[in-house]
């Protein structure tokens, strides 16, 4: 009986995961291609304006420095957008009931939504990387750290998107969550600059931003230089993921704002 239940649960997870993948892939022009074009515009504008005027690390051109930041920013923003938009759309249209009725555990729901967000985030990040490496050569100093920070970062933002989607009751609330929390934390995390160029006070303030550790560690994987020890960053990012995952699964387990 337990094996049948386990198989049923796995099938439910697989179906929900597949549904979430199809949801964004069916409109890939909007969900994948558009963010890639946006990142390319950032690179063109900032790279052209600041190339030759700014050198963040010795021997690293500003355009080269910018590429990992743009890749990671795209991964984070799109992972958040995937899970948050799915939940809020399901709640507003009323079709969330078809997810809640089957015997899916909160673990299965969590991993289906978050893994789909990771897939979208990595797909967009890979697309950004492919179109930007034509501008300047990029090295790979620690490929495993690149993968680790990209996957963990996407999982964290997918989890944050899940929390935001559960909490929000309308699109305005979700937009406020994104505009007043996700966007500032992303842009103030060192995407376009290194924190060692900041005044000491603001440098310490930047250390309070968990997104900083994701981007700084991810960038280390390319250049071998960073503002913080990459292993310290990895530990902080992993700890942040564990805390957020526990919060999200608790919300799913209790049916917070889902089961009325």
Q: Supply the DSSP string of 49-94, one letter for each residue.
A: HHTTT--SSTT--HHHHHHHHHHHHHHHHHHHHHHHHHHHHHHHHS
Read off the pLDDT band of 3 (50, 70, 90).
Answer: very low
- Rounded Cα distance between 71 and 126, Å, is 7
- Rounded Cα distance between 213 and 145, Å, is 12
Instruction: Say what the pTM is.
Output: 0.91
Given this model, what pLDDT does residue 53 score? 55
Task: Report in angstroms the alpha-carbon separations of 104 from 5, 17, 22, 109, 249.
Answer: 10, 12, 19, 7, 13
Residues 162-218: tens digit of each pLDDT: 999 999 999 999 999 999 999 999 888 888 888 877 788 888 888 899 999 999 999
C-beta contacts of 47-51 below 8 A and 24+ residues apart: 47/135
Give every CB contact of residue 172 below 8 A, 6+ residues apart in sequence. none
Q: Could you give the percent of the chain with pLDDT greater than 90?
A: 61
CA 116 from centre of chain? 11
Residues 16-71: tens digit of each pLDDT: 999 999 999 999 999 999 999 999 898 888 776 666 556 677 777 888 888 999 99
């Amino acid at each position: 009986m337990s094996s049948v239940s386990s198989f049923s649960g796995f099938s439910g997870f697989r179906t929900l995961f597949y549904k979430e993948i199809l949801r964004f892939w069916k409109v890939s022009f909007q969900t994948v291609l558009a963010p890639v074009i946006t990142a390319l515009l950032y690179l063109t504008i900032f790279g052209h304006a600041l190339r030759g005027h700014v050198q963040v690390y010795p021997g690293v051109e500003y355009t080269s420095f910018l590429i990992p930041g743009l890749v990671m920013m795209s991964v984070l923003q799109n992972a958040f957008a995937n899970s948050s938009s799915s939940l809020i759309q399901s709640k507003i249209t009323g079709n969330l009931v078809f997810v809640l009725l089957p015997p899916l555990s909160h673990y299965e729901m969590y991993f289906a939504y978050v893994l789909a967000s990771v897939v979208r985030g990595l797909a967009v990040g890979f697309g950004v990387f492919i179109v930007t490496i034509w501008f300047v050569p990029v090295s790979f100093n620690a490929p495993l750290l690149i993968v680790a920070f990209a996957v963990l970062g996407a999982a964290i933002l997918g989890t944050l998107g899940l929390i935001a989607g559960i909490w929000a009751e309308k699109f305005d609330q979700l937009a406020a969550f994104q505009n007043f929390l996700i966007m500032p934390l992303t842009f103030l995390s060192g995407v376009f600059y290194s924190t060692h160029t900041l005044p000491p006070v603001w440098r310490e303030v930047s250390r309070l931003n968990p997104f900083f550790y994701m981007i700084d560690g991810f960038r280390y994987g390319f250049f071998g230089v960073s503002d913080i020890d990459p292993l310290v960053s990895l530990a902080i990012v992993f700890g942040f993921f564990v805390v957020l995952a526990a919060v999200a699964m608790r919300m799913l387990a209790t049916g917070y704002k889902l089961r009325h």
